[in-house]
Structure 1
Amino acid sequence: MNNSTNALTPTKLYCDIFGHNYEMSKQVTYHVKEYTCKCCKKQMTTDGNGRLTELTPKFKEINSILSRIYANKMNRMRSRAFQTTAA
């Protein structure tokens, strides 16, 4: 039985031979980033230990929540800095 998800495409073959060519697609926080392979579009993210791991739905949810928390923190820090310089 043929499975279309295991089909050998030229881009997948390239990545299998030479390795993936990741580029940063999203910066979640200063130290957490999401990467996408330029050839096969495989998505990866950094885990809690800083290693690349596959971007599963669980990690997508974690990254979106982390991004929201980080943005709120940065907004609070900016408003505090503005209040101290204005005073």
Structure 2
Amino acid sequence: MDCRLGCGACCIAPSISSAIPGMPEGKPAGERCVQLNEENLCKLFGKPERPKVCHQFKPCPIVCGTTNQQALDNITELESLT
């Protein structure tokens, strides 16, 4: 599965404990990453400063669902379970 461009759920719902440029302490769950632009695209995509955890995330139908809202809901639920 390819990412749905403009979704951004994986940049909003989960917490990210590693440093992100502009967020040296990482990102709390539910907070929009500062590297997410107005179109919900990652400004670090393909760059070496992108956190490893972000690079390793692979979209899949179970997590991402069929809509952006489903992805946000699914990732939020997964975050709450961990």
Scaled by the length of structure 1, the TM-score of the pair is 0.24
Scaled by the length of structure 2, the TM-score of the pair is 0.25
Which has the larger share of strand? 1
